[in-house]
Structure 1
Amino acid sequence: MSQNKRTKDTFPESPEPYWRDFITLPEFPQLEDNLQVDVVIVGGGITGLTAAYLLVKEGLKVAVLEAGKLLNGTTGHTTAKVTVQHGLIYDEFIQNIGKSRTRLYYEANAEALSFIRKTIEEHSIDCDFSEQDAYIYATTEHYARKLEKEAKAYAKLGIDGGLVNNLALDIDIQNGLVMKNQAQFHPVKYLARFIDVIKEKGGLIFEDTTAVNVKTGKEPVVFTRKGLEVTGRYVLVCSHFPFYEGKGFYFTRMHAERSYVVAVKTKKHYPGGMYINAEDPVRSLRSTMMNGEEIVLVGGESHKTGQGTDTMAHYKALETFGDELFGIDRVAYRWSAQDLVTLDKLPYIGELTSGEANILVATGYRKWGMTNGTAAALLLRDYVMQQETPYQKLFTPSRFYLHPSLKNFLVENANVAGHLIKGKIEAPNRKMNDFANDEGGVVIHKGQRKGVYKDKEGALHVVDTTCTHLGCEVEWNDGERTWDCPCHGSRFSYTGEVIEGPAETPLQQHDHHFLDNFTSEDSGY
């Protein structure tokens, strides 16, 4: 990677996370034959690999199917805070679902943190694990009062923490809240050891193997895009957005959010700790070591997928914040992540649809996937081993807490309807000759909405902008060079291939015959 001196508005060209650099993971083949196992796990992130690790240790034959490469999804794009401090959530949970259920949420995630800590010790995993205190801070009176309520919730739940008046950071705060003895780590180094154990104990891992459907029954069958079948006693759907929804209608019960990270070499020393603000726009901070030097991860700028401003503006806003706080020598990496938020902000973990006890799902971690994803894997292990736990009822996907689920259901689906209509009636006025190399956007061609990207060599890539999930119109994401759906969070490459579900089929691509007629004269009204 280039180590050039930082200049204004200069970022690494490609949005790649630090976690996958300087580390070589083993490669795995595509699935080539039908297969029979005990447990089929779809998804090679923290939940899928942790569940596979746990189940092979129980003596079960496990197959992991990953559509792309292991740890290249949300797990590989995290900030990797291993904390039970999940923003301002505990007072809200007590109000909505009661103290006892809220305590269970805390305990499930605290057990996940403990599991991570003990597993690192057991296997002597060198993954830059360090104990850190976690802080939420408020810069306004309104959120200062919210932190006071959150501190009272900590006291009710027995959480080790409390209010603080100042931070080690040069930020003027109105209030702060600390949770003691949390942690951070390198997620890919951590999970690389799990991959080794899965292999050692006979588990099977397949990359570039996309699961597309499930045949239910006593022994459910997972079908791949190439028409192959993997049969098991259980299927675990750990694919971020469920690749198979059954009758769960998950796309109506979750929304997708994108957030951004810049990894920067700073002039000022980082004081330690993990930080996040209470207000919008979100600002998140932690540090890590890279080749013997400290870098700071500046994260935040959350927005619903496909509904943000100029995407590069989010990176620039984080750079500005980091520069004002620490002084930046250079931006070493930049990347973004996509997370799913459920109606009541609790993950969905358990039976995919009520009555299908052998098809299990884990999704909706609300940006706190290191502990929630680990808690999910532990719970999925208990389901498969038929061990009842107090967490099953809390996280079951079939739950419906009237408040706030009904309100949020109405709000989210009104938002979807609004963007569906907006995409159909808006009239972009750009023409083909408006685009420079490495630029994309929407045009109208003969009355039809098309997505155009002109690559670095000047070649055109044109797709139909209608999302193949439910027909919303995708928007151009210039930071990642993708087409993002504002309705349910599907994402596509500039050539139209699916990157994130719930969409399963690519956008319609247009070949050279179409492009021959796609002139500047007929690229607009």
Structure 2
Amino acid sequence: MMDKSDKEGILPKFPDSYWLERSNIPQFSPLQEDIQVDAVIVGGGITGITAAYLLVKEGLKVALLEGDRLMNGTTGHTTAKITAQHNLIYDELIRHFGEEAAKHYYEANTDALEFIAETVKEHDIDCGFIRQEAYLYATTTEYANKLEKEYEAYQKLGISGELQNEIPFDQKVENVLSMKNQAQYHPLQYLIKLVETIDKSGGQIYEKTTAVNVEHTDKGTAVLTRGGLRVVGKHVLACTHFPFYEGAGLYSTRMYADRSYLMAVKTKQDYPGGMYLSVDQPSRSLRAATAGKENIVLVGGESHKTGQGKDTLEYYKALASFSDEVLHSNDILYRWSAQDLTTLDKIPYIGEVTAGQPNVLIATGYRKWGMTSGTAAARLLRDIVMDRQSPYRALFAPSRFQADPSARKFVKENIDVAKHLIKGKLTLPVQRIHDLSRDQGAAVTIKGKRKGAYRDEEGKMHVVDTTCTHMGCEVNWNHGDRTWDCPCHGSRFSFTGEVVEGPAEKPLQKDEHTFFDNIFSEDSGY
């Protein structure tokens, strides 16, 4: 683990995921030549890996492409709750889409939970899978009333749950709603077994292989990689966090990116059991992640739109304060953040990328519930590839557009994008580059132009152009994670400009003076 000393206080200095730090994930070589298969799967998270596992079991020849390393994206930064209790959702689904659609949403996610349970049992996977009750709790009267409405929706849909008035922590609550027989696990230990099964069954896995486009050819549908190679298949499954190929779907205008924060905290007392989520804002999430004799609890919350909000380190500090108050512990082992996409109507997009392109499928927009939603997506994609009927196909179809609430949400989100695009172009930063201390980054003005500068711990300056390579918005510095984040569509870049998360595919342009610190002086104009 990294050095835990930190000038900011009790927080670990660098963000590290508990799951990734405690997993031995197998590695695979990049693609070296053009290949042809039955199904090309792009994305090495829970959806892509599960889909590859399912299709290999069907006897298909499968290639799985991952731009970085397997499980290093959102899947490696999750809370790993396996539940159909997706915050306040069922009352809203009934009101907007009717009881049948709401029931299908619940059943798809419950089926996914049971699939995970069965897979763990089938392969005897040591991943800490355990049944737990899931709880939503409210600390205000307003949200206590919303939990009452949600409970009424549970009753209409036949969901097993009940209202309570307390949780086993030092936290005053107004109302609590449980959902019975949910679960939690170590997601990467589970997926490592699926990866091993794919590999042993003849599935081809390639890392450091970035997909950039799709072309339709006489031989099938081709995925083009950044290295100029092609993988041709009958079907292409885009299981990347943000679809690497949007077709005519314009998904960047139909989803927004949201960041949230997590910490792994070592506690002196045993955890009382259960998975908890506050429905008020700011959100708070709790679940155990016990390893050996250690009592470890995952504390999460503090969501906000990517590239927007306050200094991101403040979100970590808020969770540390909550941990101290509720768990009586500030022994923080790890801290990290995650990014999630939300669709216009809060239901994931799973299926044909656009009507009329049945061979190109996508899965995205899980709204922080990727363990069940990602598994449900993989199962639905398998059914579409195998030309099987599914009761969930219409519900998740990406081509849907509901007048209520999609139209209002579409206008609101795109006004927000336009606001940040214009704001970034009209205002120049007041920060000066030579004022940056070590391990500090900021948008700066250099010779009348907006640039992004970060001085690392050795004193080296890294300067990039702050114009996002997706659609031209100006990125902002993320202090807590040391990245450049786009406030328009959620693209993220390392401090050296490399793409961390899409929809951007190209890195930020590096400034020609990046490595010459001696030019950053009072007389140089910088």
TM-score, normalized by the shorter chain, greater than 0.5: yes
In 2, Cα distance between equivalents of 1:449 and 1:418: 18
Does the CA contact (< 8 Å) of 1:43 and 1:238 recur in 2?
Answer: yes
What is the SS of the residue equivalent to 2:289? strand
- Kindly provide the amino acid, as one letter, of the partner of residue 31 in structure 2: L
Change (3 A) 1:401 1:4: closer
**CA deviation profile, 1:331-377 (whole Å, cap 9, x unmatched):** 10001000000000000000001110000000000000000000000
Query: Once the 2 structures are TM-superposed, how far is the Cα of residue 518 of structure 1 from its aligned partner?
Result: 4.4
Change (3 A) 1:513 1:152: closer
What is the SS of the residue equivalent to 2:290? strand
In 1, Cα distance between equivalents of 2:320 and 2:191: 29
What is the SS of the residue equivalent to 1:313? helix
Q: Structure 2 matches for 1:388-467, cutoff 5 A?
A: 388-467=389-468
Q: Which residue of 1 aligns with 2:223?
A: 222
Answer yes or no: is 1:381 the counterpart of 2:382.
yes
Change (3 A) 1:495 1:2: closer
Does the CA contact (< 8 Å) of 2:6 and 2:12 recur in 1?
Answer: no
Answer yes or no: is 1:508 the counterpart of 2:509.
yes
- Kindly provide the amino acid, as one letter, of the partner of residue 417 in structure 2: V
CA RMSD, aligned part only?
Answer: 1.6
Q: Which residue of 2 aligns with 1:480?
A: 481
Change (3 A) 1:330 1:131: same
In 2, Cα distance between equivalents of 1:107 and 1:3: 45
What is the SS of the residue equivalent to 1:72? coil
Answer yes or no: is 1:519 the counterpart of 2:521.
yes
What is the SS of the residue equivalent to 2:241? coil
Q: Which residue of 2 aligns with 1:90?
A: 90
In 1, Cα distance between equivalents of 2:142 and 2:291: 38
Q: Which residue of 2 aligns with 1:68?
A: 68
**CA deviation profile, 1:238-266 (whole Å, cap 9, x unmatched):** 01100111111000000000000011012
Query: Once the 2 structures are TM-superposed, how far is the Cα of residue 523 of structure 1 from its aligned partner?
Result: 5.7
- Kindly provide the amino acid, as one letter, of the partner of residue 267 in structure 1: K
In 2, Cα distance between equivalents of 1:322 and 1:140: 20
In 2, Cα distance between equivalents of 1:293 and 1:29: 35
In 2, Cα distance between equivalents of 1:351 and 1:217: 18
Structure 1, 16-25 or 379-388: larger mean CA deviation = 16-25
What is the SS of the residue equivalent to 1:104? helix
In 2, Cα distance between equivalents of 1:82 and 1:39: 27
Change (3 A) 1:2 1:416: closer
What is the SS of the residue equivalent to 2:286? strand
Q: Which residue of 1 aligns with 2:183?
A: 183
- Kindly provide the amino acid, as one letter, of the partner of residue 489 in structure 1: G
Query: Once the 2 structures are TM-superposed, how far is the Cα of residue 161 of structure 1 from its aligned partner?
Result: 0.1
- Kindly provide the amino acid, as one letter, of the partner of residue 163 in structure 2: L
- Kindly provide the amino acid, as one letter, of the partner of residue 239 in structure 1: T
What is the SS of the residue equivalent to 2:298? strand
**CA deviation profile, 1:42-84 (whole Å, cap 9, x unmatched):** 0000000000000000000000000000000000000000000
Q: Which residue of 1 aligns with 2:371?
A: 370
Query: Once the 2 structures are TM-superposed, how far is the Cα of residue 292 of structure 1 from its aligned partner?
Result: 2.5
Query: Once the 2 structures are TM-superposed, how far is the Cα of residue 424 of structure 1 from its aligned partner?
Result: 1.3
Does the CA contact (< 8 Å) of 1:443 and 1:523 recur in 2?
Answer: no
In 2, Cα distance between equivalents of 1:222 and 1:107: 33
Q: Which residue of 2 aligns with 1:152?
A: 152
Query: Once the 2 structures are TM-superposed, how far is the Cα of residue 517 of structure 1 from its aligned partner?
Result: 4.7
In 1, Cα distance between equivalents of 2:307 and 2:436: 20
Identity %: 59
Change (3 A) 1:90 1:523: farther
Query: Once the 2 structures are TM-superposed, how far is the Cα of residue 513 of structure 1 from its aligned partner?
Result: 7.8
Q: Which residue of 2 aligns with 1:307?
A: 308
Does the CA contact (< 8 Å) of 1:4 and 1:330 recur in 2?
Answer: no
In 2, Cα distance between equivalents of 1:248 and 1:339: 19
Does the CA contact (< 8 Å) of 1:135 and 1:178 recur in 2?
Answer: yes
- Kindly provide the amino acid, as one letter, of the partner of residue 181 in structure 1: N
In 2, Cα distance between equivalents of 1:80 and 1:72: 14
Q: Structure 2 matches for 1:216-365, cutoff 5 A?
A: 216-217=216-217, 219-365=220-366
What is the SS of the residue equivalent to 1:29? coil
Q: Which residue of 1 aligns with 2:212?
A: 212
Answer yes or no: is 1:142 the counterpart of 2:142.
yes
Runs of 4+ in 1 over 4 A off after TM superposition: 2-8, 513-518, 521-524
Q: Which residue of 2 aligns with 1:198?
A: 198
What is the SS of the residue equivalent to 2:152? helix
Does the CA contact (< 8 Å) of 2:4 and 2:13 recur in 1?
Answer: no
Q: Structure 2 matches for 1:11-30, cutoff 5 A?
A: 11-30=11-30
Q: Which residue of 1 aligns with 2:121?
A: 121
- Kindly provide the amino acid, as one letter, of the partner of residue 86 in structure 1: H
Does the CA contact (< 8 Å) of 1:490 and 1:501 recur in 2?
Answer: yes
In 1, Cα distance between equivalents of 2:300 and 2:422: 32
Query: Once the 2 structures are TM-superposed, how far is the Cα of residue 9 of structure 1 from its aligned partner?
Result: 2.3
Does the CA contact (< 8 Å) of 1:6 and 1:329 recur in 2?
Answer: no
Query: Once the 2 structures are TM-superposed, how far is the Cα of residue 434 of structure 1 from its aligned partner?
Result: 1.5
Structure 1, 498-507 or 427-436: larger mean CA deviation = 427-436
Structure 1, 161-170 or 383-392: larger mean CA deviation = 161-170
TM-score by length of 2: 0.97
Query: Once the 2 structures are TM-superposed, how far is the Cα of residue 5 of structure 1 from its aligned partner?
Result: 9.6
Does the CA contact (< 8 Å) of 1:420 and 1:472 recur in 2?
Answer: yes
Q: Structure 2 matches for 1:93-108, cutoff 5 A?
A: 93-108=93-108
Does the CA contact (< 8 Å) of 2:169 and 2:327 recur in 1?
Answer: no
Does the CA contact (< 8 Å) of 1:446 and 1:522 recur in 2?
Answer: no
Change (3 A) 1:72 1:265: same
Does the CA contact (< 8 Å) of 1:339 and 1:365 recur in 2?
Answer: yes
In 2, Cα distance between equivalents of 1:282 and 1:522: 47
- Kindly provide the amino acid, as one letter, of the partner of residue 423 in structure 2: K
Q: Which residue of 2 aligns with 1:57?
A: 57
Query: Once the 2 structures are TM-superposed, how far is the Cα of residue 4 of structure 1 from its aligned partner?
Result: 6.7
**CA deviation profile, 1:100-124 (whole Å, cap 9, x unmatched):** 0110000000000000011101111
Q: Which residue of 1 aligns with 2:45?
A: 45
What is the SS of the residue equivalent to 1:416? helix
In 1, Cα distance between equivalents of 2:140 and 2:398: 36
Structure 1, 416-425 or 374-383: larger mean CA deviation = 416-425
TM-score by length of 1: 0.97
What is the SS of the residue equivalent to 2:84? coil
Structure 1, 73-82 or 324-333: larger mean CA deviation = 324-333
Does the CA contact (< 8 Å) of 1:444 and 1:523 recur in 2?
Answer: no
In 2, Cα distance between equivalents of 1:468 and 1:357: 29
Structure 1, 334-343 or 209-218: larger mean CA deviation = 209-218
What is the SS of the residue equivalent to 2:162? strand
Query: Once the 2 structures are TM-superposed, how far is the Cα of residue 10 of structure 1 from its aligned partner?
Result: 2.1
What is the SS of the residue equivalent to 1:512? coil
Does the CA contact (< 8 Å) of 1:151 and 1:163 recur in 2?
Answer: yes
In 2, Cα distance between equivalents of 1:200 and 1:312: 43
- Kindly provide the amino acid, as one letter, of the partner of residue 45 in structure 2: G
Query: Once the 2 structures are TM-superposed, how far is the Cα of residue 329 of structure 1 from its aligned partner?
Result: 4.8
Change (3 A) 1:358 1:245: same
Does the CA contact (< 8 Å) of 2:462 and 2:514 recur in 1?
Answer: no
- Kindly provide the amino acid, as one letter, of the partner of residue 502 in structure 2: G
What is the SS of the residue equivalent to 2:295? strand
Query: Once the 2 structures are TM-superposed, how far is the Cα of residue 23 of structure 1 from its aligned partner?
Result: 2.3
Answer yes or no: is 1:81 the counterpart of 2:92.
no
What is the SS of the residue equivalent to 1:143? helix
Change (3 A) 1:6 1:129: farther
Query: Once the 2 structures are TM-superposed, how far is the Cα of residue 7 of structure 1 from its aligned partner?
Result: 10
What is the SS of the residue equivalent to 1:198? helix
In 1, Cα distance between equivalents of 2:90 and 2:121: 30
